[in-house]
Structure 1
Amino acid sequence: MAAQLPDIITLEAKEMDLYTNPLEPFWETFSKRKPNFKITENCKRGYVAGWAIKDNQLILTQIKGKHYARSLFFGDKLVELSMKKLFPKSKSNYILANWYSGKLRIPAGPMTQYEHYNYNSRFEKEIIITVNKGNVIKMVTLDYTQQKLVVNLR
């Protein structure tokens, strides 16, 4: 499997790669049927989601991906998935990721080792954010060059 396109997260006004896919547990948590996304070699999940940390909460801000939708007369049709289609009852432009609990891995600094598989490449630093039901619990920066752990108080 090829290296995968990561999701994107905005952290302290900076857009960064996100080497975790917090939208994946959504389908199971809410017993939703995952759309039949058009997959590619470098994006097996078929979409790229945009995220942000806002007021110590993990927020889904966008989703980009195409999926096959049933058409009565023309068979499956490839259409763009939107936030409105995914969350039709929401009146907001973003969604609190209250289904997600786990760690977010954000690479920072130059790449030190490339791996042509999933998200296995290594970087000088990594930011690890612990999330519980959409709420940020802890954020730490692992600095592999200094062999140091920095706890970011929020």
Structure 2
Amino acid sequence: MTAQISESLQLDGEQVPMMATPLEQYFELGGEKPEFHATCSALWRGYRASWEIIDDRLYLVGLQGTGPGGRTITQKDLFPDYAERAFAHWYSGTIRIPRGKLLEYVHGGFGSQYEQDLMLTLDRGVVVSRQVIHNGTAPEGATEGYSPAAMTVFQQGDAGGKQE
């Protein structure tokens, strides 16, 4: 599996990559999941969500996904009454935010390691703790910031683009 495109999070006035997919927990708990189609190997889930933390509460503030026939799926499709901002009360877990330079690239999921990880622990959408983990110091010239290294883009209708 290819390293995956991160979700994005507005945190303390900064846009950061987020190594977690809180919408998956929403779908597991019974929220209706649209038929998302992957458009590239770095986005097997078929969507990218944008999040924001305000007063230690996690909100979904944007969704861009691809459905059957290339149809765009947005946050309004999932939460018609909360198309601008939906409180993620369904999410309990840890959000990993990588920081610093790349220590080790892993060609799968969110497995790459960076100099630091900010770990946000949430309970029913509320941040209950923050912890910084120091993973090491990267060598001179190491890549700064999170980015998948390579991906395959699927053509519309390509069998590889449909997520089973």
TM class by smaller structure: 0.7 to 0.9
After superposition, the CA RMSD in angstroms is 1.3
Corresponding position of 2:119? 128
Structure scoring higher RCO (CA < 8 A, sep ≥ 6) equals 2
Contact 2:105 2:113 in 1 (8 A): yes
Corresponding position of 2:156? none
Corresponding position of 1:139? 130
CA offset at residue 33 of structure 1?
Answer: 3.0
Cα distance in structure 2, aligned partners of 1:32 and 1:104: 20
Contact 2:113 2:135 in 1 (8 A): no
Corresponding position of 1:87? 79
More helix by share: 2
Contact 2:32 2:78 in 1 (8 A): no
Task: Give the paired residue count.
Answer: 136
Cα distance in structure 1, aligned partners of 2:136 and 2:89: 34
More strand by share: 1
Any runs of at least 4 consecutive aligned residues in structure 1 with deviations exceeding 3 A, and if so which?
none
Q: 2:54 is aligned with what amino acid?
A: K
CA offset at residue 27 of structure 1?
Answer: 1.1
TM-score of the aligned structures, taking structure 1 as reference length: 0.83
Unaligned stretches of 5+ in structure 1? 69-76, 147-154
Deviation per residue, 1:30-83 (Å, 9 max, x gap): x23311111131111000110111111011110111112xxxxxxxx3211111
Corresponding position of 1:97? 88
Deviation per residue, 1:98-140 (Å, 9 max, x gap): 0000000010111111111111100001000000000110011
Secondary structure of the residue that 1:84 maps to in structure 2?
helix
Unaligned stretches of 5+ in structure 2? 138-164
